[in-house]
Chains A and B, each alone.
Chain A
């Protein structure tokens, strides 16, 4: 029994430079205090003292009211649903295509030489610059947004999946040689699990990019969505409304990213994570 050693414990004890954080509830409390202090200073010190016009910078309370009325009186709820749909569909599509294309590219040098230049060229095109084209091609509706989100999500997932699918250690391959493993089983039992940590890295980068992609696409041309809500509020000089929409966007991106990380930790449980 004494032979059971948790490998992760070892490594952490050895770094003397590393600051050891106090219990997490105190940390949480401290970060809440920071937030409350920041918002209070904004509300009761910054705005009254400098006499800033609400059209330039509204008080946090005004933003909260704008958020509340947007959700329960205005159309912000519908806009959120639309944007969430665009992000979700585009993200799933982009990730799936990224992963699917990574398989041949990672598996064969020939496929890599044929496909890689085009994929890199595709990535070199600034997606924001071609967003108007997609609106022309696919209209003002959801399709153009989904396509742009997919395009923007595709690359990080693709690149990471290629690296991950090639990350199988040589000695694991030799083990599978001993059993005369078929290409499919090698993929299923070796390449795929070895690539999972990398793929989740790509998915995590992709998730924040996908929210940006959806908003940019909506800026270019849309009647609905959070991006279009920001444009509408901006034109109306409803600065509090703009801030409210930004707050919602931040919340969506942060939540989605946290969800992907949580799923990643669950599925890729064998990798050491830096937590605790």
Chain B
């Protein structure tokens, strides 16, 4: 198995940049990561650990300084149609209705209009937004706006879904609800998901594998396979096994805290 290439291969990827004041910063150093198709991966770490940088590298949104990133054997140099991205804020265009926001790819990315329309109807139903297609973003709650953002990322049927702390700005109850919804959405679609979060609980709840990152310089410090059965329920959070996983992640952060 070691020799076979995984779906997503990240090899010795680094990102260095120079700040405006001339300081050299290493955002990410020497990251090696193999991700199998259809897996749900969470990247967890404190701010400044380069988790968002790593996510954007996989999406081709930022150039890496060295190393390689490939998806399905193809080297990633720029964004491709195989990527769907969900941001921390929903990033909805306020002049477009829910449906127009979801199908924006058909206007700007050359995605097939008919296919996008069909999938939009299907996914809007799945996330419970039917009846809201003609509303404008300002008429929706934060949770519903983020559902629109997720639907938009799925509508051109990407192979990889990249999620950058999509639930960080939501209240705790909405967050719980959306985590459960995301899990069932993933279980039906089986996309490869890379999900960035700074919440340990969220990372463990959603993931097949939790990748733990540490800052200064950003690097991978642990790779924990979560073997909790699916579908996972919110009650599981209180279970012994769940607690073992979260403490395994937390101990890295505590160690970091001592270092600083």
A, B from the same assembly: yes
* Contact size range, B: 20 to 34
- Rounded to whole angstroms, the CA-CA distance of A189 and B93 in the bound complex is 9
Q: Are B89 and A171 in touch, CB under 8 angstroms? A: yes
Q: Are A177 and B140 in touch, CB under 8 angstroms? A: no
- Rounded to whole angstroms, the CA-CA distance of A172 and B101 in the bound complex is 12
Q: How far is the CB of B158 from chain A (nearest CB, A)?
A: 9
Q: Are A178 and B59 in touch, CB under 8 angstroms? A: yes
Q: Are B139 and A4 in touch, CB under 8 angstroms? A: yes
Q: Is the interface of B mostly helix, strand, loop or mixed?
A: loop
Closest to B109 in A: A179
Q: Are B108 and A8 in touch, CB under 8 angstroms? A: no
Q: Are A179 and B93 in touch, CB under 8 angstroms? A: no
Closest to B128 in A: A3
Q: How far is the CB of B183 from chain A (nearest CB, A)?
A: 20
Residue B78, interface by CB 8 Å: yes
Q: Are A8 and B93 in touch, CB under 8 angstroms? A: no
Residues 72 to 120 of chain B near chain A (Cβ within 8 Å): 78-81, 83-85, 87, 89, 91, 93-95, 104-105, 107-109, 111
- Rounded to whole angstroms, the CA-CA distance of A270 and B136 in the bound complex is 8
- Rounded to whole angstroms, the CA-CA distance of A33 and B54 in the bound complex is 67
Q: How far is the CB of B79 from chain A (nearest CB, A)?
A: 5
Q: Which listed residue, A171, A186, A270, touches B91 by the CB 8 Å rule?
A: A171
Residue B19, interface by CB 8 Å: no
Closest to A172 in B: B91
Q: Are A185 and B108 in touch, CB under 8 angstroms? A: yes
- Rounded to whole angstroms, the CA-CA distance of A193 and B95 in the bound complex is 8
Contacts of A171 in B (CB 8 A): 87, 89, 91
Q: Are A3 and B94 in touch, CB under 8 angstroms? A: no
The listed residue with most A CB atoms (<10 A of its CB), out of B78, B79, B84, B132, is B79
Beyond A4-B144, A180-B109: 14 further Cβ-contacts under 8 Å? A7-B138, A172-B93, A175-B85, A175-B91, A178-B84, A178-B85, A179-B79, A179-B105, A182-B108, A186-B108, A189-B93, A189-B104, A189-B107, A190-B93
By a beta-carbon cutoff of 8 Å, the part of chain A in contact with chain B is: 3-8, 169, 171-172, 174-182, 185-186, 189-190, 193, 269-271
Pairs of residues from A and B, 5 with the lowest C-beta to C-beta distance, nearest first = A179-B109, A270-B94, A3-B141, A181-B108, A185-B108
* 23 A-B residue pairs with CB within 8 Å: A3-B141, A4-B140, A4-B141, A5-B139, A5-B140, A5-B141, A6-B139, A7-B138, A169-B91, A171-B89, A172-B93, A174-B61, A175-B85, A175-B87, A177-B61, A178-B83, A178-B85, A179-B79, A179-B109, A181-B109, A182-B108, A185-B107, A189-B104
